[in-house]
Amino acid sequence: MKRFDKDTWERKEIFDFFSSLSDPFYMVSFRVDVSELYDYAKAHDLSFYMAMIWACDEAINDIQAFRLCIKEDGLYEYERRDPSFTYLKEGREAFQIITMEHIDDIDTFCKKAIEKAEMQEGFIDLSSETDDLIYYSCLPWIDLTALTNEKDHSSSLKDDSIPRIAWGKYKDENGRKILTVSMEVNHRFIDGIHIAMFAGRLEEIIKGLSYEC
């Protein structure tokens, strides 16, 4: 983590403007063609859910705006954000929250994620819940179009820089797998252009898997 100079930042006025709000979060949903990711996961016997988390991790960490955070003494930039995701074991109704380090290799990441999720017994390991994370959730039973997240308004909510990403069931359209991704972010750090950059980078990462399927 390194200090980030707000005074030379072109978004300084935007950051200051949204800093006056008690809840500067907003949500955007967009559709993504995940066909190559689905095919890759199927060909390599991987969880599509974990593969999608991996792809989003890769895309988020390629964009500086998503790695910015606020501390008591100013702004900082994380070198990387790691995933914290919901997981529901087979035959259960009570989900768990799993947190782990991101791994660059998709196969290794997916296998380690499943292994860690299946081994965890409790609901959440609070010692792993830091502010350098990305929160993920999935509702695979429905065609999700949008989702908001719970927040603690008794705390310093506006300083929360953690991106929150969710999706539901993919749809088959003309032989392609289409998924709606819902993203909730803090407007102090993230504008629409950054979400568009994330969406574009996510599509590039997914398309890049096509030759490996």
| pLDDT (mean) for 160-183 | 97
Domain boundaries, the chain: 2-212
How far does CA 184 lie from the centroid of its chain? 9
Taking the C-alpha atoms of residue 40 and residue 63, their distance in angstroms, rounded to an integer, is 24
Task: Encode pLDDT of 40-61 as tens digits.
Answer: 999 999 999 999 999 999 999 9
Q: How far is CA 114 from CA 46, 56, 108, in A?
A: 9, 17, 10
Residues in the chain: 213
Residues 42, 212: Cα–Cα separation, whole Å? 12
184-196 pLDDT, tens digit each: 999 999 999 999 9
Under 8 Å between Cβ of 136 and 166: yes
- Contact present, 126 and 120 (Cβ < 8 Å): no
8-40 per-position pLDDT tens digit:
999 999 999 999 999 999 999 999 999 999 999
CATH class belonging to 2-212: alpha beta
